[in-house]
Structures are given as C-alpha cells and as structure tokens.
C-alpha cells in the first residue's frame, strides 16, 4: 500500500510531527509513505486547493492508494479533495472517525485538523487516528455489522451519483482546471518522484509532464 502525506502552507511546520507518526504506523501495515506536500514554511508553497489537485492526480494515476492531508480545520482540504473525480475524502478529528470512515464509507483519503484542537498530546491523537485508519479491521465491512449491507449499498450508490454528476472523464476534468493552478500543484520534486515512479496511467503522467515542460 502506498500512502501520500500532503500538507499546505499554514500547517507545514507540523509536517515532521505528522510524518513521524504516520511512518511509525505505516511500517506496521507494510505500507510506504510519500511525503509529497510541504515540509516547512520555506518549501514549495501550496494551499488546500492545490492539495485537492495533487490528491486527485496521485489517486487517479494509481500512484498511491490513500492520501492523508489536512489544513487548519481540516474542512477546506476535505472539500478541496472531494470535488475531484475518484476521490472520497473523510473528515477526521479523532480515532473513531478514522475507523468509522473506513468501515462505513470506505474512502481513499482523510483530512485532519492540524491547528484546531492540535494541542497537548496531539501527536498521540494522530498516531491513534493512523492506527485506526491503517491497522484496524477490514475496510468497508460496515458498523455496526448488522448494518453492513445497507451501508455498503449506500456507499456504492454515493460513488455512482458522484460519477454521474461529474460527467467528464478524469483527464478531461483535470485539463479543465486553470493550467497555472495545476502546474503549481505538481511542481514539487517529491510529488513528481511519487507520480512518475509509481503512476500506472501514462496519459495522466504525460499531461503533468507537458505542464512542467
């Protein structure tokens, strides 16, 4: 399993803390972490809008299986990711959120609050969030188990509705975004390394390379 961590400018200073906790859990899940966003305030500047573009590219290109992201409240990043085809992002403030999102919604991204409520013991909370996200239970089983069948059905229907509403194929949707905005999103060296080394959809990679060239 490949997991991308991406953080934006307002919370980039906390990247080392989040990355350390995520890597500690990922190794237990036999997963690899790619730190593709900002590492500190002096890094390639990104907003939560760029995070949505980045997440959509990596997920639709099959370069990663899951994205961990966030912003000050986690709300902006969640909304930014969820507007894109092929991305289902949950909002997570505590470990139970991560577990229930995996069991009921079975999405491929989580958005955390890295400012709101991020105080004493914050690293413990995010570690427990990651444990529930990546080490606990089989995804999509439902909770409670007696509600599994309708929950699985509704999750599938929700994905079908999103596909119907977002009529464009993914690459067409990506090309419809301001190219300058996409170019900023994909300009980070670590992002490019993750995409080009692990991507499985050549057409997406080719479009990204065309912007960079």
Average pLDDT over residues 39-61: 96
- pLDDT higher than threshold 90 for residue 181: yes
For the whole prediction, is pTM greater than 0.85?
Answer: yes
Give me the CATH number covering residue 130: 3.40.1400.10
- pLDDT higher than threshold 90 for residue 167: no
- pLDDT higher than threshold 90 for residue 152: no
So what's the pLDDT on residue 147? 84
Domain limits for position 176: 2-212
Q: For residue 59, how far is the Cα from the chain centroid?
A: 8
What confidence tens digit (pLDDT) does each residue in 5-15 have? Answer: 999 999 999 99
How far is the C-alpha of 174 from the C-alpha of 206, rounded, in Å?
12
Give the chain's domain count: 1
């Amino acid at each position: 399993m490949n997991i991308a961590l991406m953080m934006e400018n307002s919370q980039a200073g906390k990247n080392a803390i989040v990355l350390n906790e995520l890597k500690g859990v990922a190794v237990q899940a036999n997963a690899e972490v790619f730190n593709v966003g900002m590492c500190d305030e002096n890094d390639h500047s990104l907003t939560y809008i760029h995070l949505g573009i980045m997440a959509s590219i990596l997920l639709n290109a099959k370069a990663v299986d899951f994205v961990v992201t966030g912003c000050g409240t986690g709300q902006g990043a969640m909304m930014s990711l969820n507007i894109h085809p092929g991305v289902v992002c949950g909002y997570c403030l505590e470990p139970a959120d991560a577990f229930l999102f995996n069991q009921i919604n079975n999405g491929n991204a989580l958005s955390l609050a890295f400012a709101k409520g991020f105080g004493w013991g914050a690293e413990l909370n995010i570690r427990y969030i990651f444990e529930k996200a990546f080490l606990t239970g089989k995804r999509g089983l439902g909770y409670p188990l007696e509600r599994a069948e309708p929950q699985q059905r509704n999750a599938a229907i929700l994905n079908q509705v999103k596909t119907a509403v977002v009529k464009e194929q993914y690459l067409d949707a990506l090309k419809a975004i301001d190219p300058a905005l996409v170019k900023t999103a994909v300009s980070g060296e670590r992002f490019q390394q993750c995409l080009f080394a692990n991507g499985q959809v050549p057409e997406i990679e080719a479009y990204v390379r065309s912007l960079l060239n």
